[in-house]
Amino acid sequence: MAGEPVRPGVYGDKIGAVEPGGVEFIPTGDRHGRPLQLLWTWTSPNLEFATVFLGILAVGVFGLGFWQAVLALLIGNVLGSLSHGVLSARGPKHGVPQMVLSRVSFGFFGNALPAGLNSITAGVGWFAVNSVSGAFALSTLTKMPTLLALVIVVLAQVLVAFFGHNLVQAFEKYALIFLGIVFLITSVVLLAKAHPAAASHPVPGGFLLTTGAAFGYAAGWNPYAADYTRYLPATVSAKMTGIWAGLGVFISCMVLEIVGAASVTASGMSDNPTSTFTGQLPGWLAALTLLAIVLGAVSANVINIYSGTMSFLTLGINLPLTFRRALVAVVFGIVGFLLAWSGLQDAGSKYESFLLVIAYWIGPWLGVMFTDQYLRRGKPIDQLLYAKWYRNWAGPVAMLVGIAVSVPLFSNQTDFTGLVAKAVPGLGDIAFLVGFVLAAAVYAVLRPWAARNSGAAPTDA
């Protein structure tokens, strides 16, 4: 990494220190940890009600039978978790955040497309969704005003994210102890009450709608993947890094989504899914579950804020401050709070659409990323990660083509239905899959042309 920006300051494995710098390369002396830690890094953020609610949607809104829902959720989670593992595996070798690695496929300035989208999705969108669910749970548990509960939840999230990588990792590790025990007991109780053979009335395309939403949820973590593996020593196993990261996402998502689906077969659907979900539990367990929902929301959002700031700084905006990442985290927290506040009166109504919209851009982005990774296999890329002269117009063009074709034709939203999805309702929403395949194909064709005009390194490089 000679000549490339190296993260300033000494950070090491100190939990109480504020992480310095931004998206620079992590020096060898600051590398620490082991792949196993990724299991709790990616398990804790999914032990929250947003995950449960996806299973509730599958049965209560999309009308699938229990076992149909399990299969659809399985397919979506396998795809999202597999891609997450592949992306995570690259972090230790290159020592940079995920959206810096994305520059290789999109060029330095072209990477503003996925990095900008992820800044909004992670630092604002997901932050608002999880803050609202956490605030409602805390308000229900303590009877405090919902707005006050929201302020408390947001402050806790921003505080952890402000300190940075090491505190985030430690928080997820210790949160898993409480979250794992409570949700395990809750899962056993609710699965015992379930009626898996209950009659189903699936909406047209409900199976693929569920698959797409499950993929969107799991793959929503994909643009963050290397953010949490870049501090691992370069000598660790890339294979085990990917396996533990993928398993963390897969196990947590599948278990809670299945429990969510099971809860609907036992009690039906209501206007307040959280109350209905916890209402099936003994009083003491309901209270612990509400507390776990609050903690789970915080666990998810410290990841969202942290990676949202990583993506924002990857845009190349010059902030000559030692703790620029920490300050951007505070700004994201304020913006996310305002959005969450505005959504308190209409919480959850657009959750399905939000998950699918995430998949609309992540699918094409993954198509470009994986195709580029295949085409460059065995070739060095580190010299391109911070090179402002580097161009790769094939990436943004392929991604935009994937989005521009898949969304108008294959999307299936409440407010908008694509032409093909409208003509063949049974297709559900396969925009993410079409976008992935199309972007991959377009990139494979355009990449050789783009390589001829990729810019030139400075003469003194």
Average the pLDDT over 222-249 and give the result: 97
CA angle, residues 206, 183, 75, in degrees to nearest 5: 30
Q: Name the residue with higher pLDDT: 456 or 117.
A: 117
Beta bridge partners of 25: 6
Beta bridge partners of 417: 412
Average the pLDDT over 208-230 and give the result: 93
pLDDT, tens digit, 9 for 90 and up, residues 102-148:
999 999 999 999 999 998 888 777 888 788 888 888 988 899 998 89
Of the listed ranges 104-108, 226-230, 263-267, 388-392, the least confidently predicted one is 263-267
pLDDT at position 349 is 47
CB of 51 within 8 A of CB of 257? yes
Tokens of 264: 């609907």
CB of 26 within 8 A of CB of 230? yes
pLDDT, tens digit, 9 for 90 and up, residues 39-72:
999 999 999 888 998 999 999 888 999 999 999 9
Helix (H, G, I), strand (E, B) or coil at 103: helix
% of the chain with per-residue pLDDT over 70:
90
The span from the CA of 54 to the CA of 126, in Å, is 14
How would you class 199 by CB atoms within 10 Å of its CB: exposed for 0-12, middle for 13-18, buried for 19 or more? exposed
Which residues are within 8 A (CB) of 30 and not within 5 positions of it... i.e. 6 or more apart?
Answer: 7, 10, 11, 12, 231
Average the pLDDT over 148-153 and give the result: 91
pLDDT at position 5 is 87
pLDDT, tens digit, 9 for 90 and up, residues 237-257:
999 999 999 999 999 999 999
Torsion of CA 390, 391, 394, 400, to 10 degrees: 110
Which of 14-23, 124-133, 282-291 has the highest average model confidence (pLDDT)?
Answer: 282-291
The span from the CA of 395 to the CA of 103, in Å, is 9
Average the pLDDT over 296-316 and give the result: 90
Q: How confident is the model at residue 261 (pLDDT cuts 50, 70, 90)?
A: very high
CA angle, residues 363, 308, 174, in degrees to nearest 5: 105
**Is the torsion defined by CA of 57, 61, 62, 67 positive or negative?**
positive
- Which segments of 199-282 does DSSP mark as H helices, in order? 206-219, 238-267, 273-279
pLDDT, tens digit, 9 for 90 and up, residues 157-215:
989 988 999 999 999 999 999 999 999 999 999 999 988 888 678 888 889 889 988 99
Q: What is the mean pLDDT of the chain?
A: 88
Residue range 32-348, CATH number:
1.10.4160.10
pLDDT at position 10 is 85
Position 158, amino acid: V
How would you class 134 by CB atoms within 10 Å of its CB: exposed for 0-12, middle for 13-18, buried for 19 or more? buried
The span from the CA of 106 to the CA of 120, in Å, is 18
Average the pLDDT over 265-292 and give the result: 83
Which of 104-108, 271-275, 277-281 has the highest average model confidence (pLDDT)?
Answer: 104-108
- Closest by CA position to 56, among listed 344, 268, 275: 268
- Closest by CA position to 434, among listed 354, 359, 351, 369: 359
CB of 453 within 8 A of CB of 386? no
Average the pLDDT over 359-377 and give the result: 94
With 80 as the cut, is the pLDDT of residue 347 above it? no
Q: How confident is the model at residue 353 (pLDDT cuts 50, 70, 90)?
A: low
- Closest by CA position to 317, among listed 61, 17, 115: 115
Average the pLDDT over 21-47 and give the result: 94
pTM above 0.75, yes or no: yes
CA angle, residues 216, 222, 224, in degrees to nearest 5: 130
